[in-house]
Structure 1
Amino acid sequence: MAKKAGKEFPGWLYGVLFVLFDAVGVAALQIGVSESATRVQLSNNMWLTGWGFVGKMFTSANFVAVLNLILWGVLYVILLMLTNRFWVATPVFLAVTFIIAVIEHFKVSIRYEAILPSDLNFLKADAGNLMSFMPSGAQWTILIAVAAFAAFVALFVFLNRLDARHGRLFRGSDKRSRSVNAIARLLLILLPGLFFTLYSMQVSTVGSWAKGFATVMGDKPSMWDSVYDAQRNGPLVAFTRQLNPKVMVKPDDYSEETMKQVAARYEKAAKKINAKRSANMTDSTVIYVLSESFSDPSRVPGLKVNKDSIPNIRKIKQNTTSGLMLSSGYGGGTANLEYMGLSGLSMANFDSSLTSPYQQLVPSEHWTPTINQMWGASKNSIGLHPYESSMYSRATNYKKFGFSHFYTLTGPDVISHQDKIDDSPYVSDEATYQSTLEEVRKTKSNQFLQVITMQNHMPYHDWYKHNDFKASSTTGKPLKDDEKESIETYQKGASLTDGATAGFLSELDKLDKPVTVVFYGDHLPGIYSSASADDGNSLALHQTDYFIWSNKASGTQGNKIDNAEYSSPNFFVAQAAEHMDAKVSPYLAFLTEMHSKISAMEPPVVNNIQGWDRIPEGQNIYLDSKGEPMAEDDFDAETRQLLADYRLIQYDITTGKNYLKNTSFMTLP
């Protein structure tokens, strides 16, 4: 007796199954970027996983989960139309999804980093070494994924037998029907493909329809941590955001000939500067200290403090090159200040769509000149950061910058001192300085050291015992309890930094080799909600403290240079050279001249804690030597020329053809 044939599945059932399997794919990717191991965290918020990713649709009207369903669904539709077989396309779709999820899981486990567009370059260049990136126990993850996929395949085989259509979506027996179906399938390939392509190419551009669409759906970029970004917004949303960032507008006169003229112009300037200088910059060890959230609480508008948090650093500043630094961030954006300090480039020159050079720019750059490279071999470049190496993709970027070691809590180079103070969750500045001193003492050769502290990172929750710092409002409106607690905890932390920094310099002063320290706060902590409520306080909330100090052995201790009262981190290297009486490259000569005309420069600043939709478009902030804002329309011809040259230089280095690479523009005499 013949076996009774199954019934044809109706179109609506295919629709339901499409949504179901699309959701399975999105869920698999979310599982891939989940991390069960305990990790250091920047706040009390738990990583967003599973229910949190979906549940926020109901708790906060955030539909980023739906955005992920749409994006994966678009790719799913294209695959369905290519095969015209639901029970063929669906297992292929899930197979690809599971493979990506497993790779995500492996990368998160090994490097605590989600899949990035730059990984595609690795696949091209070093695909043969993929097996070396398998974590321990990888076989169990693979077996679980294979078992889950096999279960789905069994389900598909069963459903295919029940379905008399066998998953065939478009059917037609006559020529006309086949032609209509072919056209329909082609349109359902081209239109979704066009949507996905345009979305991917434009979602990182401020003002584009794709960016607006993603924002409305709930995408909240979290560029400081690729894993958190993927967990919070979905791996595909986080990935596409980094595919095509708009870096800079190409200058109209950009060409090889123009860049040769720029190089020649500042080669001449360098010779003029060097004729008056006697030292070489690399004859000293230079240490950049990015002190997390360091600033003077007494300068916050509307705030009264009971005593000075930074008496030692205030005294240090009085006796050396020092001033206030204009920051592009408030309560966030550390890596952008760090990038400017290391590269000499300015966020003010980038398009407002570029939110984080460390994630969106550096991984794809072919040439990444940074100031540490002036010290030659990579063994002379050392990085220290008592936190996770994956934050802001630092581990990858520092290797690209030419650092031989980057000491962190998570390795592979583990920082030696990890002491914390009282109930603080972060490594103290004193411990970080101890680790730094060990590196300085380890060798007699001169080095460049990049130190990024963590002690004063937010949040601030009454960590310290015997804290007698008090804060109050002068505006007539008392501080709220949580703001008051945060400020007073921060004050104590700043005081601890003050003492530790003075001790650090004292130890460096005992060394018989020349050392220069560039110390700066990256941004104010985002705790001054009363002060930030007033837009008139914007400039004050974006000014931190900095100084450039040299030890006795350097011969330049006590030097004070002109035009130091205000600065921004892109100018620090030029200022350090002047402070050290050191000869400069054409690039440093350019930065010296630029700083003489514009003391500080940053993109437009705002009072809210910096997110990753970047700061709003508008006039960049330019300050003169007295800290007064300057309007670009009022610049003289020389300043206009310098600013135009800056944009040409930055474009050539970051997204242009690197014409300057083949010149002596970056070479010290």
Structure 2
Amino acid sequence: MENQEAEITLKSPRKPFPGWLYGILFVVFDAIGVGVLEWGVTATSRVKLSSPTIGWGFVTKMWTDLNFVAVLNLLICGIVYLILLMICNRFWVATPIYLAIAIIIAVIEHFKIVIRYEAVLPSDLSFLKSDTGNLMSFMPAGAHWVILGAAAGFLVLLGLCLYLNRIDGRHGRMFRSSDRRTGLVNASARILLVILPAGFLGAYAMQAGTVGSWANNFNLAMGDQVSMWDSVYDAQRNGPIVSFLRQLNPKVMEKPADYSEATMKKVAERYSKDADTINAKRSANLNDSTVVYILSESFSDPSRVPGLKVNKDSMPNIRKIKEHTTSGYMLSSGYGGGTANLEYMGLTGMSMANFDSSLSSPYQQLVPGQHWTPTINQLWGAPKNSIGVHPYESSMYSRATNYKKFGFSHFYTLTGPDIISHQDKLGTSPYVSDASAYESTLEELRKTKGSQFIQLITMQNHMPYHDWYPNNEFTAESTTGTPLGKNEKESIQTYQKGAAITDKETEKFLNQLDKIDKPITVVFYGDHLPGIYSTASEDENNSLALHLTDYFIWSNKASSSQGNKVENSEYTSPELLHAQAAEHMNAKVSPFIAFLTEMHGKISAMEPPVVNKIQGWQRIPEGQSLYLNASGKPMVESDFDKETQQLVDDYKLIQYDITAGSNYLKDLGFMDLPKR
């Protein structure tokens, strides 16, 4: 009898796992998946793990900062896990599938970061469709070890799942039915538990990038801290899933009510006629000259900051240059940051004032997914004629990817793939000097006798500023009655010295261009003021002054436009520099540049609402865009005359068509210079 009881016990089915245990295991495996994804964006030597918000800090900041972005990632991944679970109806089948997906994504993230220092972006999905056959070429050195390690990790997790399935008398079956009626109820429940979470996830993904939406507000409440300047840091800080979904469906612009193919044909015809009128009075061809755009990091005049007294002029040479050529003040949308936005406007002629407030970084949210990206350098023809130079990391703002898309053949940076040749620094500054940046640019200019377009973005005067330069003779003090703080004073005085060095090196650079026997025109502008004037920025009445930088357009001795100083040049904004450069050079224009010329004639400068605070990445400020007339006075949109309003409306149509619409203008010659 005892032997019979023992035999029955051995043959009896194993106990099924209780529901609460499945709940615990679901959370555990969900967390493993999130952890694997976070590993994918942190496990590389190129990633800087100095921030407490990444690595283990991704989790611990729940307690240290009450930041629950890790929980947000758990919720999103948990929804995907739940959908798989309902489809499979087997816990021990859905779990390894979920973990395999997480591991594959993590490995792809790891490889892309190693190769490009860039996280996976929504635009990469189109790459998978169009260029899947070349995926193997993106494998970094040692990729097989990562793949083997990932495979080994998956096998361990798979083995754990198989073991748990074996000891689980239920074998992970979520819904069991003993009759047809119960089966129908269970099937209906499973379908609902697929449709509802999938619907929620789809709605969330479509709204996560739209400021003010429920999904965006939920992200913020959970601790999402948008870091658009660096896609890897953004993925580390907020989780790769949150970072990815936030950029999946950015709201670019409101569709103009009258947008259609017929409307865009009328717009193209209107400015084609304007181009013909302008071109009848001009003799030069824009692309017969070499044009160099210089975005001088944070360059501006400290003596114009309200409430600040300086002991010495930081820009005597540039001030003199400005007196004898086209020059003035540039209205900047940034303060202390936002370089890539000013750069984007300068290259494309598109205005941040026209975009939705949710589109805070076109380089990250817009350009990677665009089908058509017309930029001024493309007027010089083949990519070999377009060169980019930037003495910093190529991955910042996804520049390496975007510049290739813009049609630049080379983009020389510190991190490559094209390495900049000159990398000297000054004092204890961590940034490459302007002298080195200019020397690298001169090398590119001397390589060919033909005309080129060169874009230089400098780094010497980038924040922060910490007493970098020895024997600094510059001093500053407040005239408001409130003394400058110690840190503010040190930053301003260090910045003054750096600006003075830029001033001298810029003059030297132009003198070198005068020795080159080919026509060269330089478009020089400071992108924004440094965010160091905390005393001045407290007063909103100083807003306009803190958003005006210096610019000039200059031509060398070999150019017929040397010494030209066009009318209405006192104020501008980066998107209008196309038109001013062409006018300065007496060059013929495309219908688009003709439009910008007309716009600048009515509105000298335009930017989205500006505020006295460091560049934010959550949204562009709301309110009326800032428009300046030829005297630098703000204009009210309700007071626009009919012609000005027509231009503003047409600008929105043009920009919508290029960035978010059907690209009707692409085949209408709107961007083309006149045939010779």
Contact 1:606–1:615 (CA under 8 A) maintained in structure 2: no
- 1:600 deviates by 0.5
- 1:5 deviates by 3.6
> Among 594, 601, 608, which residue is 2:613 paired with?
608
Mapping of residues 479-518 of structure 1, within 5 Å: 479-518=484-523
Q: Which residue of 2 aligns with 1:286?
A: 291
Q: Which residue of 2 aligns with 1:366?
A: 371
Identity %: 71
> Among 8, 16, 20, which residue is 2:16 paired with?
8
1:307 aligns with 2:307: no
Q: Which residue of 2 aligns with 1:467?
A: 472
Letter in 1 for 2:19: G
Structure 1: stretches of 5+ with no match in the other structure: none
Contact 2:46–2:117 (CA under 8 A) maintained in structure 1: no
Q: Kindly tell me: are residues 140 and 432 of structure 1, through their superposed partners in 2, closer, same or farther at Cα, counting changes over 3 Å?
A: same
Q: Which residue of 2 aligns with 1:221?
A: 226
Mapping of residues 443-462 of structure 1, within 5 Å: 443-462=448-467
- 1:535 deviates by 1.7
Contact 2:358–2:620 (CA under 8 A) maintained in structure 1: no
- 1:35 deviates by 4.8
SS in 2 for 1:525: coil
Q: Which residue of 1 aligns with 2:3?
A: none
Q: Which residue of 2 aligns with 1:546?
A: 551
Q: Which residue of 2 aligns with 1:30?
A: 38
Q: Which residue of 2 aligns with 1:166?
A: 171
> Among 652, 665, 672, which residue is 1:667 paired with?
672
More displaced stretch, 166-175 vs 568-577: 166-175
Letter in 2 for 1:479: L
- 1:175 deviates by 2.6
CA–CA distance in structure 1, aligned partners of residues 478 and 66 of structure 2: 36
SS in 2 for 1:552: coil
Q: Which residue of 2 aligns with 1:398?
A: 403
SS in 1 for 2:312: coil
SS in 1 for 2:194: helix
- 1:358 deviates by 1.1
More displaced stretch, 533-542 vs 207-216: 533-542
Letter in 2 for 1:53: F
CA–CA distance in structure 1, aligned partners of residues 555 and 538 of structure 2: 39
Contact 1:35–1:109 (CA under 8 A) maintained in structure 2: no
Please give the per-residue CA displacement for 1:125-164, whole angstroms capped at 9, x wherever unaligned: 1111111111111111111111111111111111112211
CA–CA distance in structure 2, aligned partners of residues 137 and 366 of structure 1: 34
SS in 2 for 1:130: helix
Q: Which residue of 1 aligns with 2:321?
A: 316
- 1:486 deviates by 1.5
1:19 aligns with 2:32: no
Contact 2:386–2:409 (CA under 8 A) maintained in structure 1: yes
Please give the per-residue CA displacement for 1:505-537, whole angstroms capped at 9, x wherever unaligned: 010011111110000111111112222222222
CA–CA distance in structure 2, aligned partners of residues 31 and 3 of structure 1: 44
Q: Which residue of 1 aligns with 2:217?
A: 212
- 1:38 deviates by 4.9
SS in 1 for 2:558: helix
Q: CA RMSD in A?
A: 1.3
SS in 2 for 1:608: coil
Please give the per-residue CA displacement for 1:380-425, whole angstroms capped at 9, x wherever unaligned: 1110001111111111111111111111111111111111111111
Mapping of residues 87-98 of structure 1, within 5 Å: 87-98=92-103
SS in 1 for 2:387: strand
SS in 2 for 1:549: strand
CA–CA distance in structure 2, aligned partners of residues 485 and 159 of structure 1: 63
Mapping of residues 651-666 of structure 1, within 5 Å: 651-666=656-671
CA–CA distance in structure 1, aligned partners of residues 122 and 344 of structure 2: 20
Letter in 2 for 1:118: S
Letter in 2 for 1:658: N
Q: Which residue of 1 aligns with 2:4?
A: none
Contact 1:222–1:611 (CA under 8 A) maintained in structure 2: no
1:417 aligns with 2:422: yes
Mapping of residues 422-441 of structure 1, within 5 Å: 422-441=427-446
Contact 2:68–2:222 (CA under 8 A) maintained in structure 1: yes
1:251 aligns with 2:256: yes
CA–CA distance in structure 1, aligned partners of residues 342 and 11 of structure 2: 72
Mapping of residues 581-592 of structure 1, within 5 Å: 581-592=586-597
Q: Which residue of 1 aligns with 2:146?
A: 141
CA–CA distance in structure 1, aligned partners of residues 467 and 621 of structure 2: 34
Please give the per-residue CA displacement for 1:83-121, whole angstroms capped at 9, x wherever unaligned: 111111011000000010011001000110000111111
SS in 2 for 1:33: helix
Please give the per-residue CA displacement for 1:413-464, whole angstroms capped at 9, x wherever unaligned: 1111111111111111110000000111111000000000111111111111
SS in 2 for 1:206: coil
SS in 2 for 1:171: coil
Q: Kindly tell me: are residues 487 and 35 of structure 1, through their superposed partners in 2, closer, same or farther at Cα, counting changes over 3 Å?
A: farther
CA–CA distance in structure 2, aligned partners of residues 483 and 62 of structure 1: 30
CA–CA distance in structure 1, aligned partners of residues 19 and 487 of structure 2: 56
CA–CA distance in structure 2, aligned partners of residues 660 and 3 of structure 1: 76
Contact 1:27–1:50 (CA under 8 A) maintained in structure 2: no
Q: Kindly tell me: are residues 174 and 38 of structure 1, through their superposed partners in 2, closer, same or farther at Cα, counting changes over 3 Å?
A: closer
Contact 2:89–2:173 (CA under 8 A) maintained in structure 1: yes
Q: Kindly tell me: are residues 141 and 47 of structure 1, through their superposed partners in 2, closer, same or farther at Cα, counting changes over 3 Å?
A: farther
Contact 1:605–1:621 (CA under 8 A) maintained in structure 2: yes
SS in 2 for 1:75: helix
Q: Which residue of 2 aligns with 1:131?
A: 136
SS in 1 for 2:360: coil
Please give the per-residue CA displacement for 1:535-586, whole angstroms capped at 9, x wherever unaligned: 2221111111111111111121221111111110000010001111111111
Mapping of residues 340-355 of structure 1, within 5 Å: 340-355=345-360
Contact 2:571–2:630 (CA under 8 A) maintained in structure 1: yes
CA–CA distance in structure 2, aligned partners of residues 73 and 151 of structure 1: 21
CA–CA distance in structure 1, aligned partners of residues 20 and 205 of structure 2: 30
Q: Please, what TM-score do these two structures have when normalized by structure 2?
A: 0.97
Contact 1:604–1:615 (CA under 8 A) maintained in structure 2: yes
- 1:605 deviates by 0.9
CA–CA distance in structure 2, aligned partners of residues 643 and 35 of structure 1: 48
Q: Which residue of 1 aligns with 2:199?
A: 194
Letter in 2 for 1:181: N
CA–CA distance in structure 2, aligned partners of residues 413 and 50 of structure 1: 30
Q: Which residue of 2 aligns with 1:643?
A: 648
SS in 1 for 2:42: coil
Give the aligned length.
666
Letter in 1 for 2:191: L
CA–CA distance in structure 1, aligned partners of residues 644 and 54 of structure 2: 51
Please give the per-residue CA displacement for 1:597-631, whole angstroms capped at 9, x wherever unaligned: 00101111111111211222211111111111111
Letter in 2 for 1:266: Y
1:107 aligns with 2:112: yes
Letter in 2 for 1:422: G
CA–CA distance in structure 1, aligned partners of residues 316 and 459 of structure 2: 21
CA–CA distance in structure 2, aligned partners of residues 539 and 188 of structure 1: 54
Contact 1:35–1:108 (CA under 8 A) maintained in structure 2: no
- 1:3 deviates by 4.7
CA–CA distance in structure 2, aligned partners of residues 224 and 436 of structure 1: 24
Q: Kindly tell me: are residues 32 and 101 of structure 1, through their superposed partners in 2, closer, same or farther at Cα, counting changes over 3 Å?
A: same
